[in-house]
């Protein structure tokens, strides 16, 4: 029970004052590492099940690349992070236990430079490295937090979108914790300071921070629909903005260019907005009137919108221009392959996936696309071989396990298919469903001795973890 955990942590750390001048390095005494991991897993299970979770490996991959670049230059304690995207037009980003950081598409699109986006993410990373949420949770003594799962749900809802999930929260009787889990001004100042440090060390423009927060404040004053969740959890004061401004004024001036990745990701998100026809019109107009900072990204956006609108011939024309021009980029290769696939040209699609995975072997979204296209073409053994090879490199990749499960299923391997499905579920934080799957696999009766005993060992391992979690 979390209540017991709280009683314990409160005994160790009786008062967590609201005003700690320099919060400094944090000792991990609020949650144990195991408890925090369990909470993090419960949160991600809810995230993956939420229809607003954007299951787009390319956007997610970009966000993780940016996030880890900032984490790598953080002076504070390092840990695992997971960055994910929420399909929601409001401007928001939020950090949760377990190093899980969510970013709304609204923020990705509203940021006027990559440095602005980086500044918000760096701020969230600092909330994580400083254990701010764990400290706030530990500071509460309420007895209405029945389980880790309820806390996970309440945190997710209060962070991401208080309106959507309030019914679910009310049912957990934890509704009122929302307001008690807003960061204090001291936490905000600390996150600003450490965020600034990451931003400058990471080579971003520190003015991105004050620029963005200034605009956020103005936007919120006039149109109070775009930013409330963010501004409620991260109280923005004139002191904070003044601090940011004085810090960035002291920094040496240097122009920082946005990466092509940033531009492509935004073009990709914009191509998904509104009706397919509107997206095509908007992308065409931007390209024609040269309203872009990267022609490649603008053309990419048009090609993506055309594929979405099923105008395959026009899409292919733009794809050809992208492929023959410079610069090249794995997202361009992926779009080219996907355009061919959507147009029913599976041979061409496979050629393009092959070329892309050879040119960018470490870019996993291309691998997912390639494996899915092989499965689609009925080349199940090739798909499985590719998935297995990737899994030796990335054994914690739930998408690869899901693709491996599909390949095994299409090859008629029942035990291995359920086993791979179970691994994907376990990595998504859903241990109960993973146990169900692996049990089905063991009952299928088509595994060899080695496969059976490996699956049996895995089931026992998960049962132990699940039992320990239930005890909590
Ligand atoms: Zn904050």
- CATH 1.10.3470 for the 378-472 domain, yes or no: no
Q: How far is the CA of 127 from the centre of ligand 1 (A)?
A: 7
Q: How far is the CA of 193 from the centre of ligand 1 (A)?
A: 11
Query: Edge-to-edge, what's the strand order for the sheet holding 100-104?
Result: 82-86, 100-104, 93-96
Q: How far is the CA of 186 from the centre of ligand 1 (A)?
A: 10
Kindly give, in sequence order, each residue whose CB lies less than 8 Å from that of residue 308, ignoring residues fewer than 6 positions away: 271, 272, 276, 279, 280
Q: How far is the CA of 265 from the centre of ligand 1 (A)?
A: 25
Q: How far is the CA of 97 from the centre of ligand 1 (A)?
A: 14
Place of tokens 């254990």: 131
Q: If you write DSSP's letter for every residue of 193-220 in order, what string do you get?
A: HHHHHHHHHTT--THHHHHHHHHHHHHH
Residue 106: name the closest of 91, 93, 128, 123 by CA: 91
Q: How far is the CA of 30 from the centre of ligand 1 (A)?
A: 19
Residue 369: name the closest of 360, 67, 419, 430 by CA: 360
Q: How far is the CA of 5 from the centre of ligand 1 (A)?
A: 25
| Per-residue model confidence (pLDDT) at position 393 | 97
Place of tokens 């239930």: 470
Kindly give, in sequence order, each residue whose CB lies less than 8 Å from that of residue 354, ignoring residues fewer than 6 positions away: 370
Using DSSP's 3-state secondary structure scheme, residue 454 falls into: helix
Sorted by where each begins, the domain ranges of the chain are: 2-250, 259-376, 378-472
| Per-residue model confidence (pLDDT) at position 449 | 94
Q: How far is the CA of 240 from the centre of ligand 1 (A)?
A: 11
Q: How far is the CA of 126 from the centre of ligand 1 (A)?
A: 8
Q: How far is the CA of 179 from the centre of ligand 1 (A)?
A: 14
Q: How far is the CA of 54 from the centre of ligand 1 (A)?
A: 23
- Yes or no: say if 82 and 44 are a contact pair by the CB < 8 Å rule: yes
Q: Rounded CA gap, 201 and 203, in Å?
A: 5
259-376 and 378-472: same fold?
yes
Q: How far is the CA of 365 from the centre of ligand 1 (A)?
A: 31
Beta strands 93-96 and 82-86: pairing type? unpaired
Residues surrounding ion ligand 1 at CB below 5 Å:
183, 188, 191, 234
| Per-residue model confidence (pLDDT) at position 5 | 34
| Per-residue model confidence (pLDDT) at position 14 | 31
Running along the chain, 472 residues long, what does each successive block of 10 average in pLDDT?
Answer: 34 34 46 79 89 95 97 85 93 89 94 95 93 76 56 72 51 52 85 93 89 78 60 81 84 84 98 97 96 96 98 98 95 98 97 97 97 97 98 97 98 98 96 97 94 96 89 69
| Per-residue model confidence (pLDDT) at position 1 | 35
Q: How far is the CA of 183 from the centre of ligand 1 (A)?
A: 6
| Per-residue model confidence (pLDDT) at position 4 | 35
Record the pTM.
0.88
| Per-residue model confidence (pLDDT) at position 295 | 96
The percent of the chain in helix, strand and coil, each rounded to the nearest 5, is: 70, 5, 30
CA distances for 363 relative to 59, 77, 360, 419, angstroms: 12, 28, 6, 25
Q: What is the CATH number assigned to the segment(s) 259-376?
A: 1.25.40.10
Beta pairing partners, 96: 100
């Amino acid at each position: 029970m979390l209540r017991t955990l709280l009683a314990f942590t409160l005994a160790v750390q009786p008062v967590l004052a609201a005003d700690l001048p320099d919060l400094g390095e944090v000792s991990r005494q609020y949650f144990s590492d195991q408890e925090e991991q369990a909470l993090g897993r419960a949160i991600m299970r809810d995230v993956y099940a939420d229809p607003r979770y954007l299951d787009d490996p390319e956007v997610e991959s970009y966000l993780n690349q940016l996030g880890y670049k900032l984490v790598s230059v953080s002076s504070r304690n390092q840990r695992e992070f997971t960055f994910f995207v929420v399909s929601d037009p409001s401007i928001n980003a939020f950090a949760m236990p377990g190093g899980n950081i969510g970013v709304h598409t609204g923020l990705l699109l509203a940021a006027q430079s990559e440095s602005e986006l980086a500044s918000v993410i760096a701020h969230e990373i600092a909330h994580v490295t400083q254990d701010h949420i764990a400290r706030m949770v530990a500071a509460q003594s309420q007895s209405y937090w029945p389980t880790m799962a309820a806390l996970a749900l309440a945190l997710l809802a209060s962070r991401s979108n208080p309106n959507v999930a309030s019914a679910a929260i009310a049912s957990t009787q934890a509704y009122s914790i929302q307001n008690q889990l807003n960061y204090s001004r001291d936490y905000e100042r600390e996150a600003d300071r450490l965020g600034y440090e990451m931003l400058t060390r990471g080579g971003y423009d520190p003015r991105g921070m004050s620029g963005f927060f200034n605009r956020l404040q103005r936007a919120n004053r006039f149109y109070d629909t775009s930013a409330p969740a963010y501004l409620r959890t991260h109280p923005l004061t004139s002191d904070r903005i003044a601090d940011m401004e004085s810090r960035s004024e002291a920094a040496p001036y240097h122009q920082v260019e946005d990466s092509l990745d940033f531009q492509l990701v935004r073009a990709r998100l914009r191509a998904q907005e509104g009706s397919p026809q509107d997206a095509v019109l908007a992308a065409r107009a931007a390209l024609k009137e040269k309203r872009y900072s990267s022609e490649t990204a603008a053309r990419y956006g048009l090609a993506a919108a055309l594929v979405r609108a099923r105008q395959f011939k026009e899409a292919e024309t733009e794809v050809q221009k992208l492929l023959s021009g410079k610069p090249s980029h794995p997202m361009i290769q992926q779009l080219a392959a996907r355009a061919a696939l959507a147009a029913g040209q599976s041979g061409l699609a496979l050629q393009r996936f092959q070329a892309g995975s050879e040119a960018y072997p470490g870019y996993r979204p291309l691998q997912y696309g390639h494996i899915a296209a092989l499965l689609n073409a009925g080349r199940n053994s090739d798909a499985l071989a590719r998935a297995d090879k990737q899994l030796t490199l990335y054994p914690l990749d739930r998408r690869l396990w899901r693709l491996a499960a599909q390949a095994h299923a299409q090859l008629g391997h029942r035990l291995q298919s359920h086993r791979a499905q179970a691994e994907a579920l376990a990595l998504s934080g859903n241990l109960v469903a993973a146990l169900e799957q692996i049990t089905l696999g063991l009952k299928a009766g088509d595994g060899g001795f080695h496969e059976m005993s490996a699956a049996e060992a895995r089931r026992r391992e998960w049962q132990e973890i699940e039992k320990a979690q239930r005890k909590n």
